[in-house]
């Protein structure tokens, strides 16, 4: 391989709120793929989500910043919030590419649940020209089913290379499939717990839990009405 440039991962998400599943995925992939940096890019206006339960971009960004603070190599970008309108990954990747230069290796990190919906994303075919993909496991489906579904999505255009554990198409970027420690936590679950006043401790970083609490995010009842303990 030619002298390689810097290796950058990009993890997009609504991060509503960020939780330990996101962070552990970024950590394991950064380690496995020797990434120099992982960019966390909260979605401005997520095109695929019902906007009603999504708290403001400013809150989501701040929670991601607190979650990533102190981990060298984890950086947080507000680029999708500053750009008006819906957040399209194809535009985000183009911007990141302009910023990091042509020589850098760019890896787009996505959980399998998100990847399996990729054909619904804006100009999704272009995404495969913009970055390598690292698709990682997520609780909910068996690993066997995951791999089969993944293969069905890309195999017409890619060849599976067991030695690389990647789908490869000559002159194109690769699609890696990577198994990570399965942490069965989701933002939906965290919001649900908050709405009924249940604990979210150890599902999100402590700094995020404190931020949620002090800003009373996701609570459906006011603190006065909430029971003690
Ligand atoms: P929601 O429940 O609101 O959809 P979420 O927990 O799925 O939230 P997202 O912001 O939708 O979080 O996800 C961003 C990215 O992180 C996606 O690629 C998703 O697959 C991945 N991801 C989310 N939770 C986990 C988890 N527990 N383990 C591995 N990957 C995860
Ligand atoms: Mg999700």
- Of all residues in the chain, the percent with pLDDT exceeding 70 is 88
pLDDT at 93: 96
Cα distance between residue 53 and residue 40, in whole Å? 21
Distance 201 CA to ligand 1 centre (A): 18
Q: At what angle do helices 57-68 and 206-215 cross, to 10 degrees?
A: 150
Q: What is the pLDDT of residue 167?
A: 80
pTM of the predicted model as reported, rounded to 2 decimal places = 0.90
Substitution candidate for ligand 1 out of 137, 138, 139, 176 with most atoms within 8 A of CB: 138
- Residues of the chain with confidence (pLDDT) below 70: 1-4, 46-52, 141-143, 146, 171, 221-229
Q: Give the chain's domains with CATH numbers.
A: 7-179 (3.40.50.620), 187-226 (no CATH)
pLDDT at 132: 94
Give the phi and the psi of residue 136 in degrees, each rounded to 5. Answer: -115, 155
Place of tokens 């950086």: 75
- Contact 185 CB / ligand 1 (< 6 Å): yes
The DSSP line for 36-79 is SEEEEEE-SS-TTS-STTPPPHHHHHHHHHHHHTT-TTEEE--H
In what helix (H) or strand (E) does residue 107 lie, and over which residues does it extend? strand 105-111
Q: What is the pLDDT of residue 223?
A: 44
Q: What is the pLDDT of residues 144-198, one digit of tens each?
A: 776 777 777 777 777 888 888 788 877 678 989 899 999 999 999 999 999 999 9
Asked whether 16 lines ligand 1 (CB < 6 A), one says yes
Q: Is the CB of 15 under 6 A from ligand 1?
A: yes
- Which atom of ligand 1 is the closest one to the Cα of 183? 27
| Residue nearest ligand 1's atom 6 by CA | 186
Looking at residue 226, what is its pLDDT?
43
Nearest CA to ligand 1 atom 19: 111
């Amino acid at each position: 391989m030619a002298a390689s440039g810097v290796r950058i991962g990009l993890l997009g998400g609504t991060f509503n709120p960020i939780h330990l599943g996101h962070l552990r995925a970024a950590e394991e992939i950064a380690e496995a793929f020797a990434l120099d940096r992982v960019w966390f890019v909260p979605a401005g206006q997520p095109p695929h989500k019902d906007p009603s339960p999504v708290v403001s971009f400013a809150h989501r960004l701040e929670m991601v910043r607190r979650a990533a603070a102190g981990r060298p190599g984890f950086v947080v970008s507000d680029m999708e919030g500053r750009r008006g309108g819906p957040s399209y990954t194809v535009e985000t990747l183009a911007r990141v590419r302009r910023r990091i230069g042509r020589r850098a290796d760019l890896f787009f990190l996505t959980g399998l649940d998100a990847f399996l919906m990729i054909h619904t994303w804006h100009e999704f075919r272009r995404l495969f020209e913009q970055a390598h993909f690292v698709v990682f496991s997520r609780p909910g489906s068996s690993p066997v089913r995951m791999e089969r579904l993944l293969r069905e999505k890309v195999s017409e255009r890619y060849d599976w290379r067991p030695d690389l554990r990647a789908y490869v198409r000559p002159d194109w970027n690769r699609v890696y499939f990577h198994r990570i420690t399965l942490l069965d936590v989701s933002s939906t679950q965290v919001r649900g717990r908050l709405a009924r006043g249940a604990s979210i401790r150890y599902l999100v970083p402590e700094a995020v839990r404190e931020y949620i609490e002090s800003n009373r995010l996701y609570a459906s009842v006011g603190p006065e009405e909430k029971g003690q303990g």
